[in-house]
Structure 1
Amino acid sequence: MTGLNTIGRSLLSDDPDVLDGSSAGKRHASSGARWLKAVRSIQTGLVLAWFVMAVVALWALFPQWFTSYSPTVGVARQQLRAPSAEHWLGTDALGRDLLSRIIYGAGNSLSGAFVAVGVGLLVGTTLGIVAGSARGRIDGAIMRGVDVLLSIPQLLLSLSIVILLGFGIVNAAIAVGVTSIASFARLARSEVVRVRTSDYVEAAFGSGGTFGRVLWRHILPNSLTSVIAFAALQLGWAILTISTLGFLGYGAPPPTPEWGLLIAEGRNYIARAWWLTTVPGIVVILTVLSANRISQSFGKAKA
């Protein structure tokens, strides 16, 4: 009986149909496991962050796609209307559609944030690269200036620069960008110093490479990844700071739609029309959190 069972199992294991079915089942399970792993790897928060930033970017580039109302001209007898089918987010004290002002305000807020990040990225990274590459007295002089900038509160420095330059979204963006120069410079210098002391850079110098060639081909490409990730983080900070300046009255002048200015204009009517401050505030918070979440993903990808 034992011999028959052994022969039966042997014949069953050699059956092509059985083998094919077993292999197909394993492939099926393997593909199912890969699909389940791919689904689990999707980060819902990151997807939502990209979605929010995509919507805000479309608002800034093509505001006329999303609203037919003017952001600056009000409608008579439509003041302080609550959200409705006609005005989805209500109207302000002058009868202007709030959704329209938020959508058109995205262009001013985002463009100002990009200018601010661009100023900090360009000037700060250049100073950091020069300091990390030259070392010695040049490094010391640049970093002492960076320490001075870091010792001044950023909002206070931004207000001082705006007062000197004059009010306006561009001047506010430049002021915010100047305050971020020190952070970019310090990060860029630390990355350049780290990469410059690595073995492959020393080998490149030992094989006869000039300083400029080694800097361009080896040091910069391996130093700027962290700087780019930091720039994405600074984008959210710039939006928040520019909105703060607009709220204080140092940003875009009325009736220009700008997120911080919208919050400031609605605070006098918060008891009667809560949506005038609440909705723009939520938009600012979601945009800043989305930019921060995307920057975190860049940092994890680098790690």
Structure 2
Amino acid sequence: MSTLAPTRPSRPRPSRALLGRALLRPGVLIPVIVLLLALAWAIAPSLFAPLSPTESVGRSLQAPSGAHWFGTDATGRDVFTRVVHGASHSISGALIAVLVGLVVGTAIGVTAGATGGVVDDVLMRAVDVLLAIPALLLSLSVVILLGFGTTNAAIAVGVTSIAVFARLARAEVVSVRVSEFVEAAYGSGGTFLSVLWRHILPNSLTPVIALAALQLGSAILQISTLGFLGYGAPPPTPEWGLLIAEGRDYVATAWWLTVLPGAVVVIVVLATNRLSQAIRGGEPA
């Protein structure tokens, strides 16, 4: 009997060319630009906002103007400067959270899906326990155990996303594992680890990467929520959730203190969601 040669995957994967064209569509290009700008804020905030984010630069509670695009807060600090410098805390924290969930969750899901049997049952029951706990309650519990701060809040948010990554990674691995090209690879003499690395993982991780982009926006929201509740970075750190919390007492008289930082958070989160859809679809309109 002749040895079977590996065949193409039974389900199509978006090619790099298709994914590149999808990212260049106007409806996707704008979110990409938004995310690149937010990332630039996080990397080099002083290039975009040279003023001090923690010192008074003018009169208190000035409305938005040419001199202060987002106005000033109750102590005379420039709100736009604080929003720009806050990107380094909020976005870096979100990246840490996504990395924790992606690495740990994907490892659990791939292990469960590739091995099956008792290992699969034990790991997935642990994942079900994590899913049964509300995300905010779990993140609050973890951050209370670790202590306050942006990094600890990011780790806490990352723990809440482990179960989501694990379930998706397992589902994708199980789906690919029974494909004809994987069976052909085994029939050609491939070992478990070589087939897993060369055939199963490359055909399973595209949805996981799309989920990571989606979880980035969710992580920004969750970290901002923890900061708003006082469990994130301490004052006067310009963290996005803390900025919104500081302006809540002035909503009636200085709306810009909450509306403009909140609008930045919403825009960045919507941009990550749109990018996630583009990665998951990977097809031009």
The aligned amino acid for 2:151 is V
Indicate whether 1:129 and 2:110 are aligned: yes
The aligned amino acid for 1:130 is T
Cα deviation, residue 43, structure 1: 3.6
Structure with the higher fraction of residues in helix conformation: 1
Q: What is the rounded CA distance, in whole Å, between the counterparts of 1:171 and 1:293 in structure 2?
A: 28
Q: What is the rounded CA distance, in whole Å, between the counterparts of 1:90 and 1:100 in structure 2?
A: 10
Which fold has the larger relative contact order, with Cα–Cα distance below 8 Å and residues 6 or more apart in sequence? 2
CA RMSD after TM alignment: 1.6
The aligned amino acid for 2:26 is T
Q: What is the rounded CA distance, in whole Å, between the counterparts of 1:144 and 1:85 in structure 2?
A: 56
Number of aligned residue pairs:
263
Indicate whether 1:51 and 2:41 are aligned: no
- The aligned residue for residue 154 of structure 1 is 135
- The answer as to whether partners of 1:226 and 1:302 remain within 8 angstroms in 2 is no
Structure 1 unaligned segments of length 5 or more: list them: 1-38
Cα deviation, residue 66, structure 1: 1.0
- Same amino acid, percent of matched pairs: 63
The aligned amino acid for 1:66 is F
Cα deviation, residue 58, structure 1: 1.0
Greater shift, 56-65 or 172-181, is seen at 56-65
Indicate whether 1:66 and 2:35 are aligned: no
Structure 1 residues 228-259: Cα deviation after superposition (integer angstroms, max 9, x where no partner)? 11101111110111111111111111000010
Structure index of larger Rg:
1
Q: Give the alignment's TM-score, normalised by structure 2.
A: 0.90
The aligned amino acid for 1:188 is A
- The answer as to whether partners of 1:225 and 1:302 remain within 8 angstroms in 2 is no
- The aligned residue for residue 207 of structure 1 is 188
Q: Give the alignment's TM-score, normalised by structure 1.
A: 0.84
Q: Which of the residues 250, 269, 278 maps onto 1:288?
A: 269
Structure 2 unaligned segments of length 5 or more: list them: 1-20
1:58-137 equivalences under 5 Å are 58-75=40-57, 78-137=59-118
- The answer as to whether partners of 1:49 and 1:291 remain within 8 angstroms in 2 is yes
The aligned amino acid for 2:231 is Y
Q: Specify the SS of the correspondent of 2:202.
A: helix
The aligned amino acid for 1:50 is V
Q: What is the rounded CA distance, in whole Å, between the counterparts of 2:200 and 2:69 in structure 1?
A: 52
Cα deviation, residue 271, structure 1: 1.2
Moved beyond 3 Å, runs of 4+: none
Q: What is the rounded CA distance, in whole Å, between the counterparts of 2:190 and 2:29 in structure 1?
A: 44
Cα deviation, residue 42, structure 1: 6.3
